[in-house]
Structure 1
Amino acid sequence: MPQKQAKDFAKILAGDKFAKDKVYLLYGSEPKRVSDAALKLKEKLLESSGEDSYFRYHKLGNGTEEVTANEVVSQLNTVSMFGGGKLAWIGPLGKIDKKSEGTLVAYVKNPNPESTLLITVDTGKGDNRTLKSFDKSALVTAVKENGMVVRFTPPSGAELNKWVETRFRSKGLVVEKYAIEMLVEFTDGDLTKLDGEIEKLAAYVGDEKEVTVATVESTVVSHRMDSVWDLINAVRAKEREKAFSALSNLLNNNQPPQMILKLLATEIMLLASAKECRDSGGRFDTFVSFSGGPQFALRGPWENAKRWDMPSFAEGQRRVLKAAMNMMQAGAPPQVVLSDLIATLCKKSSPVKAG
């Protein structure tokens, strides 16, 4: 059976003529989408089997809180005392060892027609390399031939906005288009964070039933902006300890690391422009005219540019790029990557010697 896309699988679950498969494999690089789809599938499957015939396993292995693949297969191959067939859900699994994969593949090729096996696999949030590797695994190949495979990736663009709108609608709320865009940008499109913010907004608006830009600004954005400006101001002034404190506060309040990187990259460019303008004898109003921003937002870069030298801007941009690559490809902890970046940015510039 061909691999299903997330939207097609959603239609199957919502349809009136749902016909269950013997094996399901739901996997991908967006764990929330995988989990949400698995929960809906479980509810659908339990309509015919019931909770007494449902078995939930989180980890494969030989540990005290784990179960072996052989034990799962044995459970599926025995008759349910309560009728209706058994449902066993394994996951979310990370890396699957070869022995367990071999056992599961053997079962998938000859499954018990009375039972249903559901496997969920988390290939790592945003980890496309691992996702593509798992695409070629023996387990995916076997389930494609004998069951249903559904692959999930993070939504983006119009699909992501639609996901947010649908989430609000499920809570009986109407949301403005620009409020959705602001919420998506502020959470960096992270579904788990978006879901959390939607819950807060639903509680905040109460009976009003409408979420506006003003609502998002007052409940999601405003309480974090002080820490954002604390970080920017500290980096401008090369005050390392204050910058570390502001960074910790932002991360503890779920500020997306990629947004922090974007802010720092923008600030470095503003500081570099201000430095170049000052060094060439330009005035503040000249800097404002070619920067295009409001005066109050540009005053900080202008005043603090004197603390920087030109080589530090090139090094700063290089470090920002390296930080982004480390978080996306190497999966390095944001706290470590961003702290290292800030330590570099806050190094005192060498004094300029008189010629």
Structure 2
Amino acid sequence: MCRLGVHSLLRSTFSPCLFRAKICPRAPCRGGQNTPYPASLPSAFDKPNHALRLLAATRTRQTAVHAVSPATRSRCGLLRDGMRLRFVQFLSAVGRRLAPAYLLSGDEPLQMQLAVQAVRHRARESGITERRVLDVGARFDWSALSVAGATGSLFGDRLLIELRMGGNRPGKSGSKAIVDWLEGPGRDHVLLVTCGRLERSALQAAWVRAIESRGVLLQVWPIRGRELHTWIESRFQLRGLQPEPDAVEQLILRTEGNLLAAEQEIEKLSLLLGSGTVTGEMLVRSVTDNARYDPFDLVDAALSGNAAHAVSVLDHLRAEGTAPALVLWVLTDTARTLLRLGAGEQTPARRLPPARAALLHRRTTRTPARLWQCLLHRCAQAEIAVKRAPDPEKWAELLTLVLYLADPRLGAALDPGPRATAAP
């Protein structure tokens, strides 16, 4: 049917005319007003007219453009060909028509949860009252899928079959079972497959293409940068709270990368305060530190030129016990990629996520290639400290590299130069 990417936070609109007004400002819009969404998920699902609106309270980053046929657009509720599809289109597609199969892929728990709940709600509206859950483990018997497809529901003719793969992959036998299920007697039922993030090569697998050709493929991506700020603010407002800018910044600082934690903290504040203004001081007293990062988040922060945020990410990695050698490896690989891109090579960026590749290209256009050569040389020097120096010196070396990556001039100014290292 179509591939729907999730790379921008869900917008707080639902109607097609509002979507045209916000996403495609040149397209005509015949009225419509922004509609507030319910404050809690269960109460919203008790009201079908409001269910999908609640899910549209989040936005995520954009992904690649996929051309969609006119027939597919009529089935999914999409507006035009060649658009950068957002999560809100997925919700619109689910609300308009229940597809025979869905594949939801990603590592961001909250968005995955909202997407799954949207499919379940639409299935109930379509008269499917029974669902069967199959958890795929290392020794999963794939004949269970064909059995589930061959048997009907006790309460009706159709089933919602949830195939939860997590971080597992189906392999040859599983791929064949999924393809056969889609083409066999189970085609009258609805198949909902959830799994971890799929690499680009995995998207070409037979089972993925089979689901995509008959249903909907949704890729969930983490929310970053300014879009996270918008999402946090909208979630406060959904609960009748008016956050001050400092409150939003404080919550982002403590929960960035962990949307579930942010949602829980906002819900807690809603229960405590009811409604009204939320100040930064009030939030600091209420919220625990739930930020979650990995070394690639450190690279993204540095490449965006936000040195203060990059240093904060590095501090979190140190507090979480991340190995300095792993952080150095990621920084060295980034320096090597920047040097190759600065020399005119394009191959290194093809294996990277689109957002990070765009950051790398922007940095190489603004920075001379010789500075990336200096950074790579500095990474080689830092390797000695990471292997032999005391722990504080290891992180001091990594701090210099991070500042250099964020701003080569700043890093060069703070670089103490080569350090004497004791012989082994």
TM range (shorter): 0.5 to 0.7
Q: Which runs of 5+ in 2 are unaligned?
A: 11-85, 299-308, 316-323, 335-385, 395-418
| 1:143 positional shift | 1.2
| 1:4 positional shift | 1.0
Secondary structure, counterpart of 2:104 in structure 1: strand
Contact 1:25 1:118 in 2 (8 A): yes
Once the two structures are superposed, what CA deviation does each residue of 1:237-293 show, in whole Å capped at 9, x if it has no partner?
xxxxxxxxxxxxxxxx76756689824968xxxxxxxxxxxxxxxxxxxxxxxxxxx
Query: Which residue pairs with 1:36 in the alignment?
Result: 114
Identity over aligned residues, as a percent? 23
Q: Distance in 1 between matches of 2:121 and 2:199?
A: 27
The answer to whether the aligner puts 1:166 opposite 2:221 as a matched pair is no
| 1:116 positional shift | 0.2
Query: Which residue pairs with 1:216 in the alignment?
Result: 283
**What is the identity, as a one-letter code, of the residue corresponding to 1:38?**
V
| 1:26 positional shift | 0.6
The alignment of Structure 1 onto Structure 2 pairs a total of residues equal to: 250
Query: Which residue pairs with 1:121 in the alignment?
Result: 195
Contact 1:176 1:212 in 2 (8 A): yes
Query: Which residue pairs with 2:162 in the alignment?
Result: 89
Note closer, same or farther for the CA distance 1:256–1:321 as it changes in structure 2 (3 Å cut): closer
Note closer, same or farther for the CA distance 1:139–1:196 as it changes in structure 2 (3 Å cut): same
Note closer, same or farther for the CA distance 1:197–1:344 as it changes in structure 2 (3 Å cut): same
Q: Distance in 2 between matches of 1:181 and 1:166?
A: 13
| 1:350 positional shift | 9.0
TM-score normalised per structure 2 = 0.49
Q: Which of 135, 144, 149 is matched with 1:58 structurally?
A: 135
Q: Which of 180, 197, 208 is matched with 1:106 structurally?
A: 180
Q: Distance in 2 between matches of 1:261 and 1:16?
A: 38
Indicate the structure (1 or 2) with the bigger Cα radius of gyration: 1
Q: Which of 150, 169, 190 is matched with 2:258 structurally?
A: 190
**What is the identity, as a one-letter code, of the residue corresponding to 1:101?**
S
Higher helix share: 1
Contact 1:109 1:142 in 2 (8 A): no
Note closer, same or farther for the CA distance 1:54–1:323 as it changes in structure 2 (3 Å cut): same
Within-5 A mapping of 1:344-355: 344-345=391-392
**What is the identity, as a one-letter code, of the residue corresponding to 1:86?**
L
**What is the identity, as a one-letter code, of the residue corresponding to 2:103?**
L
Contact 1:174 1:211 in 2 (8 A): yes
Q: Which runs of 5+ in 1 are unaligned?
A: 124-129, 225-252, 267-317, 329-338
The answer to whether the aligner puts 1:10 opposite 2:88 as a matched pair is yes
Q: Distance in 1 between matches of 2:194 and 2:388?
A: 36
**What is the identity, as a one-letter code, of the residue corresponding to 1:102?**
K
**What is the identity, as a one-letter code, of the residue corresponding to 1:149?**
L
Query: Which residue pairs with 2:273 in the alignment?
Result: 206
Q: Distance in 2 between matches of 1:208 and 1:101?
A: 50
Note closer, same or farther for the CA distance 1:116–1:211 as it changes in structure 2 (3 Å cut): same
Note closer, same or farther for the CA distance 1:83–1:206 as it changes in structure 2 (3 Å cut): same
**What is the identity, as a one-letter code, of the residue corresponding to 2:164?**
G
The answer to whether the aligner puts 1:46 opposite 2:118 as a matched pair is no
Q: Distance in 2 between matches of 1:13 and 1:177?
A: 29
Secondary structure, counterpart of 1:3 in structure 2: strand
Within-5 A mapping of 1:1-355: 1-6=1-6, 7=10, 8-13=86-91, 18-51=96-129, 53-62=130-139, 67-96=140-169, 97-110=171-184, 112-123=186-197, 131-203=199-271, 205-220=272-287, 262-263=311-312, 321-322=327-328, 344-345=391-392
Once the two structures are superposed, what CA deviation does each residue of 1:12-52 show, in whole Å capped at 9, x if it has no partner?
5357962111110010242332222112211221223344x
Secondary structure, counterpart of 1:131 in structure 2: coil
Contact 1:3 1:144 in 2 (8 A): yes
Provide the aligned C-alpha RMSD in A.
4.0
Q: Which runs of 4+ in 1 moved over 4 A?
A: 14-17, 253-261, 263-266, 318-321, 323-326, 339-343
Note closer, same or farther for the CA distance 1:181–1:90 as it changes in structure 2 (3 Å cut): same
Once the two structures are superposed, what CA deviation does each residue of 1:86-133 show, in whole Å capped at 9, x if it has no partner?
10111152121332122112223446342100000112xxxxxx5323
Q: Distance in 2 between matches of 1:264 and 1:144?
A: 37
TM-score normalised per structure 1 = 0.58
Contact 2:94 2:122 in 1 (8 A): no
Secondary structure, counterpart of 2:199 in structure 1: helix
Secondary structure, counterpart of 1:79 in structure 2: coil
Contact 1:22 1:112 in 2 (8 A): no
Note closer, same or farther for the CA distance 1:219–1:257 as it changes in structure 2 (3 Å cut): farther
